[in-house]
Structure 1
Amino acid sequence: MNTIPVMIVEDDIRASYVLENTINQHADFEVVAVCENVAEAKIKAEAFLPELVMVDITLPDGNGIELIRSLKSSGFQGAFIMTTAERETSTIEKSIQLGVMDYLVKPIRMSRVLQALSDYTELRQQLSKSAKIDQQSIDLLFRKQTHLDKSRKTPKGIDQKTLEVLNKHLEDLKDTSFTAEEIGNAIHLSRITARRYLEYLEAQGLVEMNLDYKTGGRPKQRYKKLSAN
């Protein structure tokens, strides 16, 4: 299976790096182009023909909303996901009207990016299966899920007992920062699994992730438990 080509339009270098690194961790996606402004994005969209574009709204020479309008009017067929700090309802409304697939608010969590990518692949797979689908499948595609498992305390892929072990270990670490690999070694999880649990805790506001640039090479993702106060 060929990977899905992605273009990032983001003028913040650090945010762009984190986004690119996260997307490339997903087996189904590959970043083929990174742009810092509208003009560059228009050129690279035509050159690389990305299937998915991650667009910041505030850019040095314009904004993401106008960029999407311009690309669509020129015949560009890709899908769009917004990545922005803007939370104004008018901006969100414009994004919805333009058919944006998802809207990620900064600071963007890695787990949320991966969720957006997985949602996109699921949509893509469902639409490619047959020419017509039933109402239940349509509802699932539009996230109108009517059959939720209310007995689960954690989302799919997060085991409650493993989460309890992890939380106990984090309590023992107190204010010490750590990597996913260190956590995995400590409680006998793979680095990828440990990262999934840490991203879940990050989404819950229980830990925070920062990039360590003092590594002599690529920045490392280090986590730290947030205090209850």
Structure 2
Amino acid sequence: MNRIPVMIVEDDLRASYVLENTINQHTDFYVVAACESQLEAELKAEAFDPELIMVDISLPDGSGIDLVQSLKSKGIKAAFIMTTAERETTTIEKAIQLGVMDYLVKPIRMSRVLQALDDYLDFKKRLTKNDKIDQQDIDALFRKSATLAGSRKTPKGIDENTLDKLTQYLETINDDSPFTAEDIGEAINLSRITARRYLEYLEAQGQVSMTLDYKTGGRPKQRYTKTV
């Protein structure tokens, strides 16, 4: 299957950079364009024809909700995933009414982005595998199946055996000793990117906490400690 083109609409350059790096790590997706405003997004959506658009709700010249409505009215056939710090139920309700595929709350974790991409792939495969589908597949498409509702012990991209190996290693570390993704990767034979994904998952579960170390002479380094 050809890789799926994705467009990012995000005015925070740091968040846009993290999203782009994460998406490009997925073997089935690549970023075809990145935009910082609603106007730029409307122009690039027509020029690049992305299949999936990651949309921040708060934009300098409008709203991500308005952008989705505008692109749909222009015949853009892309699927949409919202990325935002907003948690108001009225905003979430509007996003659902617009048919948004997923809603990611900032600060967004790499593992959650990858899960959203995998869920979109699953959605697409269910629609295209046959001309007609059964009730189980229909329930999954409408987020009613146990698979999409979270019966998995861990999200896609998080292997249980690797997670167990990591948590066992963390038990050997002192509670107040900071460590990095590089440290974890070297200790249990993972790449830095993979180790960071697992640490972000554990952070979301409240098992580790992350702080940014700005005393590195360059880009801030993410350091983790176990949550006591």
Scaled by the length of structure 2, the TM-score of the pair is: 0.87
State the Cα distance separating 1:117 from its structure 2 match: 0.3
1:162 equivalenced with 2:162 (yes/no): no
- What CA distance in whole angstroms lies between the structure 1 residues aligned with 2:95 and 2:153? 32
- What CA distance in whole angstroms lies between the structure 2 residues aligned with 1:193 and 1:212? 20
Give deviations 1:24-66, integer Å, cap 9, x for gaps.
1111000010000000000000000000000001100001000
Structure 2 contact 176–226 (Cα < 8 Å) conserved: no
State the Cα distance separating 1:192 from its structure 2 match: 5.0
> Structure 1: any 5+ residue segments left out of the alignment?
none
Percent identical pairs in the alignment equals 64
State the Cα distance separating 1:136 from its structure 2 match: 1.1
SS in 2 for 1:205: coil
State the Cα distance separating 1:138 from its structure 2 match: 1.7
Structure 2 contact 7–53 (Cα < 8 Å) conserved: yes
1:9 equivalenced with 2:18 (yes/no): no
Query: 1:110/1:209 Cα in 2 relative to 1: closer, same or farther (>3 Å)?
Result: farther
Scaled by the length of structure 1, the TM-score of the pair is: 0.86
State the Cα distance separating 1:9 from its structure 2 match: 0.4
Structure 2 contact 6–32 (Cα < 8 Å) conserved: yes
Structure 2 contact 110–197 (Cα < 8 Å) conserved: no
Equivalent position of 1:37 in the other structure: 37
Q: C-alpha root-mean-square deviation of aligned residues, in Å? A: 2.6
State the Cα distance separating 1:195 from its structure 2 match: 3.4
- What CA distance in whole angstroms lies between the structure 1 residues aligned with 2:145 and 2:186? 37
State the Cα distance separating 1:196 from its structure 2 match: 3.8
Query: 1:41/1:177 Cα in 2 relative to 1: closer, same or farther (>3 Å)?
Result: same
Structure 1 contact 165–187 (Cα < 8 Å) conserved: no
- What CA distance in whole angstroms lies between the structure 2 residues aligned with 1:74 and 1:149? 35
Q: Which amino acid aligns with 1:186?
A: A
- What CA distance in whole angstroms lies between the structure 2 residues aligned with 1:221 and 1:3? 31
- What CA distance in whole angstroms lies between the structure 2 residues aligned with 1:206 and 1:74? 45
> Structure 2: any 5+ residue segments left out of the alignment?
none
- What CA distance in whole angstroms lies between the structure 2 residues aligned with 1:58 and 1:149? 29
Alignment of 1:1-229 (within 5 A): 1-146=1-146, 157-159=159-161, 161-169=164-172, 171-172=173-174, 174-179=176-181, 181-191=182-192, 193-209=194-210, 214=216, 219=219, 222-228=222-228
Give deviations 1:190-222, integer Å, cap 9, x for gaps.
445433422320221223456677575xx5762
State the Cα distance separating 1:153 from its structure 2 match: 5.9
